């Protein structure tokens, strides 16, 4: 069977959608899992880390380049996170909940992702662009007084601090900006 150009275009479009949605939790499900993991962490005294990241490009106005950057980020998260980790996409940003991960472990994951975004993104899918990755991270403190909403707020504040200070490809810990 010979493929027509319209069929080829439809298949490419389907592949884009499939790659874009693979293994990411919907935000509503993520919120439920976050609340559960915060409660579990409190009960058993295990660490919990939330990473908030934004991927932007140096090319303004191109939806294709931004889409390619997001697909790259999704694929990077899918390949480099543990099965235990819970990634989701919220708007044009990503949240990753890392159960049983303390601040040092979260920093290690973020450092690995920083290096990946610096080296490989510029040649992804034959599209040339520079990724600007802003990473914010918050951990559940030892006193276990933090709620799931406060944990998300802390990670968002760390991300916003990274953006505001143009700290691309550097992780900002919430505990360091207080």
pLDDT digits (tens, 9 = 90+) for 53-108: 998 877 665 677 778 788 888 888 888 888 899 999 998 899 999 999 999 999 99
Contact between 59 and 121 (Cβ < 8 Å): no
Pick the CATH number of 21-177 from 3.30.70.270, 1.20.1630.10, 3.40.50.300, 3.40.50.720: 3.30.70.270
As a whole number of angstroms, the distance between CA 113 and CA 76 comes to 8
As a whole number of angstroms, the distance between CA 14 and CA 12 comes to 5
Residue 116: name the closest of 75, 164, 174 by CA: 75
Residue 19 pLDDT > 60, yes or no?
no
Per-residue pLDDT band for 17 (boundaries 50, 70, 90) equals very low
As a whole number of angstroms, the distance between CA 178 and CA 148 comes to 19
CA atoms within 13 A on the CB side of 139: 18
């Amino acid at each position: 069977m010979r493929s027509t150009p319209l069929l080829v275009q439809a298949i490419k479009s389907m592949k884009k959608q499939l790659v874009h949605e693979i293994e990411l939790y919907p935000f509503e499900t993520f919120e439920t899992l976050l609340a559960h993991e915060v409660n579990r962490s409190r009960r058993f005294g295990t660490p919990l880390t939330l990473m908030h990241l934004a991927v932007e490009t140096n090319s303004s106005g191109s939806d294709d380049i931004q889409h390619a950057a997001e697909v790259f980020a999704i694929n990077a998260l899918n390949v480099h996170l543990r099965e235990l980790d819970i990634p989701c996409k919220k708007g044009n940003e990503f949240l990753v909940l890392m159960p049983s991960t303390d601040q040092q472990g979260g920093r290690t994951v973020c450092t690995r992702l920083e290096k990946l975004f610096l080296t490989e993104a510029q040649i992804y899918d034959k599209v040339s662009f520079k990724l600007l990755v802003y990473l914010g991270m918050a951990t559940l403190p030892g006193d276990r007084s933090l709620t799931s909403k406060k944990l998300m707020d802390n990670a968002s504040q760390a991300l916003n601090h990274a953006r505001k200070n143009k700290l691309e490809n550097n992780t900002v810990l919430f505990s360091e900006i207080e």
